Every structure is written in structure tokens, then in C-alpha cells.
Structure 1
Amino acid sequence: MGKVIKRIRVVLCLVEKVGVADDDAIEQVQHEKSSSLTNIILCEQWQEQTQTYESQVGEKALYSKQLVQPKYCPFILGTLESMTGMLLGLDMSTISGANLFMPQYLHLDTKQFSLVSSGAALGAIPGAILLTPINEWIGRKYTLIVCCLIFTVGAILEAAAHSYGTMIAGRLLVGVGIGLSSTAPVCVSESVKKEIRGKLVVLFQFNITVGEVIGYVVAAIFVNVPGNWRFMLGSSLLWSSLLLLFILFLPESPWWLMKKGRKAQSFLVWKRIRSFENLESITEFFEMEKAVLEERKLAQARPFYWLDIIRVPRSARAFIVANVLAGIVQLDGINSVVYYIGVLFKELGFSAEKSVYMSLVGGGSLMAGTIPAILLLDKWGRRMVGIGPSIVVFLGCIIIGCSFLAKNTKTYEGVYIWGLITYELFSGSFQSLPWLNFAEVYPTYLKSVGMTIADAFIYLWAFTVTYNFTGMRHAMTNTGLFVGFYGGISLFGVIFLVLFLPELKGKTLEEVDVIFSQPMSEIARANLRSSINTLKKLFTGRWKEIVQTDSQVLDN
């Protein structure tokens, strides 16, 4: 802390010695001088508080030295916490493989088969609803531990099932664990700086796709083993057990510790994962302390303050954007395709064994498509990474739908696989957007509630499309489902993103408030201008300008 104060004093001395030639320069120097003086005052106040915290932690401060430097720690923590996303991916791919064999063994009819396939998504709804109360009660770390425990019990029931009832019980428990796994993006967003927030939050989606690929590999390994579907479904408990061991060694969220009044412990965790060696980290810690105190006062004054999410116009606009986005990314059919991909390949004429192997193509495409989102979200921005892939997802729906019209089997297979790869490859980036959007659009005191509602909506729509997949195919035909319904939702998604998804890359909370304090018509007008300017740059060859930082502050 003392080093930071010294650096500010040096800057202040340099500012006082600057020779100025005009009024603008004078004004700039005076502004810098004023800011430096303010920073010195704040730093001296914070230094006193820091010393108080150091004395409170006592002997624990001796162990604040760590093997991993703070500049690497957020990446390691973010990676380990986000690995809970693998549980969702594993469930999607292992049930896809098991669906080729398990329904015949358990003698499932069409409705039972649909409910077993969508059971995890159904269980994830109450899991997501319980997210906020459990998070506030036992903390982020122990919520992730509970998530792994519940998932493990569910996987055991699935693998041991000899009846429809036992299988449904296992599927629902697995779903509850999946719903609670959404704690990871909350925990990551509370602990890292905004410059890397995007890529670390999106790691959750990337780990979903990694889990899918691992699940397809496991399904391929056991496809010719007697009782294959039991091994496929039971394999996921190995991963949940390993994740449980990893999570035991992770620190609790400093934000949650601060909310529980354990300030010294919050300080110690922050020191380990972010350090107190630079002004930015120091400022963020004490701003967090201030925000927590304000939230506590608000909760005491207004017990139902969370109703602000629909009552206050600024929050209501964020609510609309977050939850419409949650609907779009599920109603475009991605979960139903992943859950039933093995069945779809079998209908193409592939054997059960080859269907499992071909499922790896779809899973690998989805994982590969997520990588650009991790690399580019904090560089190109949310709109660029969202709008472009959403257009190609729409085209992928059209290609898949048209493949069913082919008369020649080889043509049918070739066009279908082409459409599937296109669809899943670009869905990878598009599907990354919601988790980050949920963490960014709400004011601090409503973030937890907002993310809980958005997560519940995601799983509600996932259950809806997965459960009704077979019925919709019969009612609408395969072409009608993919072109008419999934394609129509995807096209609506493109229009919605162009008009109503604001650019939040690198934005402070105050800047996000400015954006959502404007009417939706103003947001749409500003976004439309931005899109038109981007298209002009694209067609005139000014590609470098497209990826430059765009402030996206709405004009009055």
C-alpha cells in the first residue's frame, strides 16, 4: 500500500512541474492534480484499514504467501471453478449415447423416453431457483460442493436403475446438481478484474463442451460392452468426485465473506488472489466493501428490494435483455440436438456404434466453436462475438432442415452432417454469451437474483425443447421443426441481438447503468447505428477498425 502512495506522490510532483501552453493543457493538469490528491487521501484511509485487517488476521497473514502469483491466480481459480460446467456437458453426451440402448432395456414408451431425456433439464429448474438462497446461506464454495455431491448421487441412481421410476429420480437429482453448478460464473465474476472477466466467465460454457466431448468418448469406449448404457451414465460420477476434490482446496468468494461480515477473511482471500500491490486492486476491494454495506442497508430498509428487478425501469430493461437471450439460446434447438444426436444419426442409417462415433463430430464442433469466444470476447466485444455466429446458426438450421428433403441417401447424409457441423460450430460462440450477459447487465445488489432467474429460464426452455422434441418432429416434420421453428427462433435472435444487445466490454457498473437507464428505443437506435457503421467498415475493407474498442455510450 505504501508503494502505491509513493507512486501517486511522484506523479503529483511531475504534474506540478509541467509547463503548460494553453487553457486545455492547464485544465488537464489541474484535473490530474485533483485526481492524484484524491487518490492520496483515499490511499491513506485505505492504508489504515488495511493495517487493521492485517492485525485482525494475525497469524493467518503469515500464510498469505502463496505458490501461485496473484496475476496467475484468477486464471487458475476461474478454470477450476468453471469445470463444474463439465457436469452439464457430460450429462448431455452420455444420455445421448445411452438413449440408443437404455429405452429398450427399461421398456420406455415415447413419453417416458422424452421425460428421461429431458429429466436433467427439468431437475435443473429447481436447482437454479435454489441457487441464490443456498449461495447466500453456505457460500459459493460449499454450493459447488453440494452440487457435486447431488450430481454424484444422481449418477449412481442412473447407473443402477432397473425401473423407470429409479431412472427419473436419478435424472432429476443430476439436474438439481447441474442447476447449482451455475454458481461458477457468479463466483468468477466476483473475484476477477473486468479486463479478463469475459474470458473467465465464458470458460463455464467451454467446459460444458469439453464435458460433452469427454462423454462422447466414454460412450464410444463402452458402446460394445455388455450393460453399456450403465457404464456411460455411471462414468459421470467419476468426474463429479474429482471436481469435488478440486473445489475443497479453493478459497471462498471474497464478496460472500464480506457480506457475512468476515471482513478480515475477505481481505486475506483478496490478498491471495488479487494482491494489494496496485491501486486498481486496492480500489476494487474497498469499492466491494462499500457496495456490500449499501446492499445490507437496502435489505434492512426494504426486505423485498429484489422486486426492483421488474419495478425499476433500469433493472427491468436488463431483465428483458437477459431473459429473452436465455430463451433464444435454448429455443433454437441446441439442447434437443445434443441430447438426441445419437438417435438422429441412427435414423440416418448409421449403426448404433457408428452413431456414437459420429456424435463426436457434433461435440467436437461445439467445443471448437467456443474457443474463439474465449479469445475474442474481451478483444472484439460481446456484439461481434454474438451477432456473427447467430447468423450462421440460423443458416445451419436451414441446411439441416433442407437435408431431410433429399431423395438420395448419400446426399441426405452429406447435407445433414454439413448442416450439423455448421450449426454446432457457431453455436459454441453464441451459447457462450448468456452466462457472461447475466453477470454484467444487473446492478450489483440485484446480480445474484437476476442470474438465478435467468438460469432458471435457461433450464426451463431447455426442458421444453428437449421434452417436446419427438412430438414436434411428428407434428411438424423434421424440415418444419428445423426450418420453421428452430430457424424462426434463430432469425428472431439475430434481430434481437442487433437491436437490443448493448456492448458491455470493459464497462464499469456506472457505464452499464447509463446504457440501461435509456429507453429500449434509444438502446435499439444506438445499436442499429453501431451495426450500420460496422457493415460500412466491413464492405470498405476497414476490418481493423471493426475490432477496435467501441465505447458504445448512448448519445443523448
Structure 2
Amino acid sequence: MNAIAEPLNARPKTTVIFTCALAALAGLMFGLDIGVISGATQFIQAEFQITDHVIEWIVSSMMLGAAIGALGAGWMSATLGRKRSLILAAVLFVVGSLLSGGAWSPETLIAARVLLGLAIGIASFTAPLYLAEVAPENIRGSMISLYQLMITTGILVAFLSNTAFSYSGSWRWMLGIIAIPGVLFLLGLFFLPESPRWLMMRGRKQMATEVLQKLRGDAEHVSHEVADIEEQLRMPQKGWHLFKENANFRRSVGLGVLLQVVQQLTGINVVMYYAPRIFQDMGYDTAAQMWFTAAVGLTNMLATFIAIGFVDRLGRKPILYAGFTVMAIGLGLVGTMMHLGITTHGEQLFTVAMLLMFIVGFAMSAGPLIWTLCSEVQPLKGRDFGIGCSTFTNWIANMIVGATFLTLLNGIGNAATFWLYAALNVVFILITFFLIPETKNVTLEHIERNLMAGKPLRHIGQ
């Protein structure tokens, strides 16, 4: 019996990992589109003879599309299903990439970037949701963290691709070549199963059971999970109606929104969008700026493995404590060095090391774990609405951070700007202690029961 049972039990785990890894490739497309524009702007500006203001529109139009996509993704995911929503996002990725590479005017490029933003908005909502609903609780954190790893991988690949094409100034290839991984992602999606929880919501219990059997392999476990989902589905409210009628759901939505604000105010996109400018202020020339920017992307990707390796062993909160502490120290020391003045090569390298330490702190904690927690704390009936609100907030906060950094530099100075972000990370340690629950090895249904019973947010994972 044992000899037969072991391969049967091993197969579903492999199936789960394959399914989650394929879904997490949405993050790769996300990262490619974030990173690719930074290296192309100077060549776009030269070809179209456009002003800095138009360049700002080209860059920021993607965030606008992402915010719109995130707003509609909740309805789309609930109506079409998680799988079809990801397929639509993949189609938009491909079309937007091809249109970007072939753009014949700035207006066309802006429209293409909006399409890419719509794809990112849909994917950034649906992929973590799908991963949370497909992965078993004992590896759920690691599987959702794969999404963040794919984002960081995409950013790094985009930086490297930009460097290769920059020698010829081929900005069209920079923007258009990402259609290739987009097509591969689209084809792979057809092999994914639909979310069993969504199937249950649509009354397809038999199909949901079959999917869970393939993913879990243990008939008794599947039976219990189906029963848990059925119990949650008896609640008649959902979405906006649930938000209006249920104060406990409003608490989980508020927590999701707060988590996304926290993630953006760590200062991560300040570094991602303005890394060359930051390295310039440290005294480096253009070539060094490009290499150190690539180092930022590599560090961001590699440090994400820390979260994947430890999130389901150490838990969410210990890693967040460590990450916010590391980020506060890193940015605080960068600000201090800029205040004292960076004059020697050793001082330059130390300041770069502190900035990279900040990147490590983010990639190991707030980067992947915020997405994990936003998926975990929302009740089933309102999960689409709750994650939609938090994802929309992510993009609005993203836009605000990107639009204010240079103003802060010019207004209060380099040192004070980095000190401000360091202080915010100290505040986030307190927020983690008082508001954020520990959800390690806890089923989504158990978290929901505690939430709806009115337990304090920090205790809903107990």
C-alpha cells in the first residue's frame, strides 16, 4: 500500500507547483513591462522629437491603464473565471507589446502603453488570487511569492535587454520583443485548470472536486476542502453588497488597501524608476549608472528567494519585521552619506551597498508578502472585490510615489528624502505588530471564520 501511495501523493504536489509556476509567469510579463521603458525613453524622444512632458505621459500611461484594469478585474475574474481573465491579460500583453514596437506616433505609443497597463492591472489582480485558491495552505506563501519572483526576473531581463539594444538605439526592439514571452505565456495558460473555488461559486461542484483531486491527490483532504468551501458559499452576500452590509469585510478591505500603501511607501519604486538619477547623485558616470541599475535588478530578483524559502517556515510577520528593519537602516544610511557628502570611491561603494541592502529588505519581505497577505485576508464571497480595491490602491500609490520623488529631492534635498522613507519603514514595523495577522499554515476558510467572528485583525490567523 505504501509503495503505491507515495507516487500518488507525489504527483499532485508536482502538479500544484507546475500550475502555480505557470500562473506566476503573469508576473514575468508585469516585470518586463515595468523595466523595459526606462532604457527606451531617450531613443523615443530623439526619434519623435518630443518634450519631457510627452515622455512622462508615455511612461505614466501604463500606470493609468493598470489602475483601470485593476478596477475591472474583480468583476471580470468573478464573471469569466480566473483562467479566462489571465488569458485576456496575456492577449493584451501581446497586442500592446507589438503595438509599442510598431508605434508610428507618440499617441500610438501612449495607447499601446495603456493596453499594457490594462493587462498588468488584470494580471496583478488575478494571478495572486488564482495562486491563493489553487495552492494548498502549507506551500501557499511560497507559491504566491513565485509571482513576485517573476516580476523581479522580468525587471532584470528588461534591464539586460535594454542594455543589449542600446548600442544600436533600437527602442522598437526593446519594446516589441517582449511579445515573444507573451505568446508563450498565452499558450501555457490553456493547460491550467480553473480555480476550484471559482467553480464552486458557479455551482460546478463535480468539476471543482476533480480539479482538487488532481492538485491534492488525497480524497479525504479534498472532501474536507470542498466542505469548507461549501460552508463559506452559503453566505448570500458578495462584493459591494457585502462591503456595505458587513463591517468585518470592511476591515479586511481596509487592511488590504493599507498593505498596498505600505508596500509602495517603502520607497521601492523610487529606486526602480530613478536608479540612474540616484547613482548620478552619488557621483557615478553614465556607464556606472547602467551597471549599478542592473545590479539593483539582480539583487531584487535573488533576494526574493529568501521569501520563497522561508515564508512558510518562519511565517509572514517575522520576515516583515526583518525586512522593514533592513529597509529603514539601508535608506537611513544612504541619506546620512548624502548629508555628509560622498567624495571618495569607498564612500560611493558603501552608499551603493546600503541601497542594495534596502533592495534586499524589500525583495525578501514587503515585495512578495504584501501580495500574499492581500490574497489571504479576504473572505471568499468578497475576495474579488477586496483584492480589486487593494490592487487599484497599489497603482494609485505607485503613481503618487513616482510623481513626487523628484519634487521631494528638489524641495527638501537628497538626504531628507531618504530619511523620510527610512522613517516610514520604522512606522511600518509598528503597523505589522498591531494590524497584520500571521497566516502561516492556516486555511483561507479558517482565516475567514475568525474575521467574520469579529476577532482583531492581528489575530484572524490564530
Counterpart of 1:451 in 2: which secondary structure?
Answer: helix
2:160 corresponds, among 202, 217, 229, to 217
Contact 2:239 2:385 in 1 (8 A): no
| Matched residue, 1:360 | 294
C-alpha displacement of 1:411: 5.1
2: CA distance, partners of 1:156 / 1:290 = 46
| Matched residue, 2:397 | 461
| Matched residue, 2:412 | 476
Does 1:384 find its partner at 2:318?
Answer: yes
2: CA distance, partners of 1:86 / 1:186 = 16
| Matched residue, 1:339 | 273
1: CA distance, partners of 2:172 / 2:416 = 34
1:419 corresponds, among 343, 354, 363, to 354
| Matched residue, 1:244 | 186
Range moving further from structure 2, 456-465 or 308-317 = 308-317
* Larger relative contact order, structure 1 or 2 (CA cutoff 8 Å, min sep 6): 2
2: CA distance, partners of 1:333 / 1:110 = 23
Contact 2:209 2:222 in 1 (8 A): no
Q: Aligned runs of 1:417-456 on 2, under 5 Å?
A: 417-429=352-364, 430-456=366-392
Does 1:168 find its partner at 2:110?
Answer: yes
2: CA distance, partners of 1:393 / 1:341 = 16
2:223 corresponds, among 278, 282, 294, to 282
Structure 1 427/475 Cα, relative in aligned 2: closer, same or farther at 3 Å?
A: same
1: CA distance, partners of 2:403 / 2:352 = 23
Contact 2:446 2:461 in 1 (8 A): no
2: CA distance, partners of 1:468 / 1:161 = 29
Counterpart of 1:225 in 2: which secondary structure?
Answer: coil
1:153 corresponds, among 87, 90, 95, to 95
1: CA distance, partners of 2:194 / 2:447 = 28
Amino acid of the structure 2 residue aligned with 1:199 = S
1: CA distance, partners of 2:89 / 2:109 = 19
2:332 corresponds, among 382, 398, 410, to 398
Amino acid of the structure 2 residue aligned with 1:375 = G
Contact 1:325 1:434 in 2 (8 A): yes
Amino acid of the structure 1 residue aligned with 2:11 = Q
1:259 corresponds, among 187, 192, 201, to 201
C-alpha displacement of 1:150: 0.9
| Matched residue, 1:188 | 131
Amino acid of the structure 1 residue aligned with 2:190 = L
1: CA distance, partners of 2:368 / 2:96 = 26
| Matched residue, 2:304 | 370
Contact 2:442 2:461 in 1 (8 A): no
The gaps in structure 1 that reach 5 residues or longer are: 4-65, 527-550
C-alpha displacement of 1:362: 0.4
1: CA distance, partners of 2:272 / 2:411 = 20
Q: Aligned runs of 1:25-104 on 2, under 5 Å?
A: 69-104=11-46
C-alpha displacement of 1:447: 1.4
C-alpha displacement of 1:492: 1.8
Counterpart of 1:84 in 2: which secondary structure?
Answer: helix
Contact 1:159 1:233 in 2 (8 A): yes
Amino acid of the structure 2 residue aligned with 1:177 = A
2:150 corresponds, among 186, 207, 214, to 207
2: CA distance, partners of 1:273 / 1:72 = 8
C-alpha displacement of 1:177: 0.6
Q: Deviations over 1:250-308 (max 9, x none)?
A: 12222222322333333332222223x3422221123324433x14xx15xxxx76343
| Matched residue, 2:253 | 319
2: CA distance, partners of 1:305 / 1:455 = 15
C-alpha displacement of 1:349: 5.2
Structure with greater Cα Rg: 1
Contact 2:199 2:208 in 1 (8 A): yes
| Matched residue, 1:109 | 51
C-alpha displacement of 1:195: 1.0
2: CA distance, partners of 1:359 / 1:407 = 19
Does 1:291 find its partner at 2:232?
Answer: yes
1:495 corresponds, among 430, 446, 454, to 430
1: CA distance, partners of 2:449 / 2:355 = 39
Q: Deviations over 1:464-507 (max 9, x none)?
A: 111333333322322232222x2232222122112211211122
Range moving further from structure 2, 317-326 or 180-189 = 317-326
1: CA distance, partners of 2:270 / 2:75 = 30
Aligned length: 453
Counterpart of 1:150 in 2: which secondary structure?
Answer: helix
Amino acid of the structure 2 residue aligned with 1:280 = H
Structure 1 465/395 Cα, relative in aligned 2: closer, same or farther at 3 Å?
A: same
Range moving further from structure 2, 90-99 or 244-253 = 90-99
C-alpha displacement of 1:75: 0.9
Contact 2:239 2:384 in 1 (8 A): no
Amino acid of the structure 1 residue aligned with 2:363 = G
C-alpha displacement of 1:211: 0.9
2: CA distance, partners of 1:462 / 1:479 = 22
| Matched residue, 2:5 | none
Percent identity, aligned pairs only, is 26
Amino acid of the structure 1 residue aligned with 2:71 = I
Amino acid of the structure 1 residue aligned with 2:191 = F
Contact 1:318 1:441 in 2 (8 A): yes
| Matched residue, 2:169 | 226
Amino acid of the structure 2 residue aligned with 1:78 = C
2: CA distance, partners of 1:318 / 1:387 = 21
C-alpha displacement of 1:149: 1.1
2: CA distance, partners of 1:382 / 1:187 = 19
Contact 1:220 1:353 in 2 (8 A): no
| Matched residue, 1:63 | none
Contact 1:404 1:412 in 2 (8 A): no
Structure 1 470/237 Cα, relative in aligned 2: closer, same or farther at 3 Å?
A: farther
Amino acid of the structure 1 residue aligned with 2:128 = P
Structure 1 117/305 Cα, relative in aligned 2: closer, same or farther at 3 Å?
A: closer
2: CA distance, partners of 1:552 / 1:146 = 34
2: CA distance, partners of 1:133 / 1:389 = 34
Amino acid of the structure 2 residue aligned with 1:439 = S
Contact 2:334 2:354 in 1 (8 A): yes
Contact 1:96 1:342 in 2 (8 A): no
C-alpha displacement of 1:145: 1.0
